Structures are given as structure tokens and as C-alpha cells.
Amino acid sequence: MRCRVIEVSALLRHLILAASSADAGLHPARQHHLLGLIGHELNAARQVNTHVPMPADTRLLGLCTSVLEAPGLELTLEQCGHRLNMSSRTLARLFQRELGMSFGEWRTRARMVLSAQCLVRGQSVLRVALEHGYQSPSAFATTFKRTLGYSPRECR
């Protein structure tokens, strides 16, 4: 078994609350059925992909780390290449080889995973959108849903 992030349905949430209620004084048969249902719901839950791959190449690792530290910073591939003393085409090929995606795809995934963390902590959609480089909450919400499979409001 491996660790994974799942979407918790309303049913699963209520089952967990019912099973873990300290004052419920659950009858053993009821507890057995609740735990069985929880197991079925966990197995059926939709997995949320929150993985942001990191490169082995030290030049790319430094760049990716700086993007994670300042996700709202708008750097073009050309600017990034200049910072690393390579052409944008070389940088694009290196990103594809190391991470299996373009710089833009990686940055979007990183921004959305960081955004989800902020939303779970209770920050507003508007604040997160602006801090992570989006001009409007609607553009942010569209990208968020396309990338992670659920809306920012559902995440909160």
C-alpha cells in the first residue's frame, strides 16, 4: 500500500465522523459495518494527483525551487534560459527530458498544487489567484479545475 491523496465525498466524511465519535458507544456490529463501508468508500475514492516532479539536473532544480518559492513570478522560458546561460530551446528540451513536460506545464502544476494548499488553509480564492500569477479568479478557477479536477471552492 502507498500513500495517496483522495477526494473525500460527503458520505465518506460522515462515515468517518460516525465511526470515530468517542461518545457514540458503537455496537460492535455497527462499528464493523461502518468500517466496512469506509473501506469500500476509500477504495472507490477518486485519487487527486498532487505530485510535482522535481528534476535531477542541478540547474533545473535551482530554477524549479525558485518558482516554488515565488509562484506568482512571471518568467518566460527565454528569461529562465538567460538565467541559466542556455537558449530557451535547450532549456525546453532539458525540461522535457528531465520531467516529461514543458516548463509551462510544470509551472502550472506547481502553482495549482501550491494553490490547493493555500485554499485548504482557508485563504480566499481571490488572494491565492493573485499571489500565484493569475489576473482574475475566473482564469485561475478554470486552470485549477482543468489541472486538479475540482474547483477551488470545492477545495476549500
pLDDT in tens, 129-155: 999 999 999 999 999 999 988 889 887
Instruction: Report the amino acid identity of residue 83.
Output: R
pLDDT level of residue 101 (50, 70, 90 thresholds): very high
Q: Residues of 28-39 as b/e, b for ≥16 C-beta within 10 angstroms?
A: eeeeeebeeebe
Helix or strand run (H / E) with residue 120: helix 103-120
- Looking at the structure, tell me whether residues 145 and 101 fall in a common domain: yes
Look up the CATH number of the domain holding residue 147: 1.10.10.60
Q: If DSSP codes are grouped into helix, strand and coil, which group holds residue 6?
A: strand
Cα–Cα dist 140/25, whole Å: 45
Q: Which three cell numbers stand for residue 150?
A: 475540482
In 3D space, the residue among 2, 14, 3, 5 whose CA is nearest the CA of residue 116 turns out to be 5
- Looking at the structure, tell me whether residues 85 and 108 fall in a common domain: yes
- Looking at the structure, tell me whether residues 94 and 147 fall in a common domain: yes
- Looking at the structure, tell me whether residues 96 and 139 fall in a common domain: yes
- Looking at the structure, tell me whether residues 65 and 141 fall in a common domain: yes
Helix or strand run (H / E) with residue 62: helix 58-69
Q: Which three cell numbers stand for residue 8?
A: 473525500
Please give the model's pTM, rounded to 2 decimal places: 0.73
Question: Left (φ > 0), alpha (ψ -120 to 50) or beta: where does 149 sit?
Answer: left
- Looking at the structure, tell me whether residues 62 and 120 fall in a common domain: yes
Please compute the mean of the pLDDT values over residues 58-86 and round it to a whole number. Answer: 93
Q: Which domain holds residue 94?
A: 58-155
- Looking at the structure, tell me whether residues 67 and 35 fall in a common domain: no
What pLDDT sits at residue 1?
A: 60
pLDDT level of residue 92 (50, 70, 90 thresholds): very high
Cα–Cα dist 15/94, whole Å: 47
Q: Is residue 120 part of a domain?
A: yes
Q: Is residue 71 part of a domain?
A: yes
Q: Is residue 50 part of a domain?
A: no
pLDDT in tens, 12-62: 989 988 888 755 677 888 888 888 999 999 989 887 777 899 999 999 999
- Looking at the structure, tell me whether residues 40 and 62 fall in a common domain: no
Q: Is residue 2 part of a domain?
A: no
What pLDDT sits at residue 119?
A: 93
Cα–Cα dist 95/75, whole Å: 15
| The pLDDT of residue 11 is above 70 | yes
| The pLDDT of residue 2 is above 80 | no
Q: Count up the domains in the chain and report the number.
A: 2
46, burial (CB in 10 Å: exposed 0-12, middle 13-18, buried 19+):
exposed
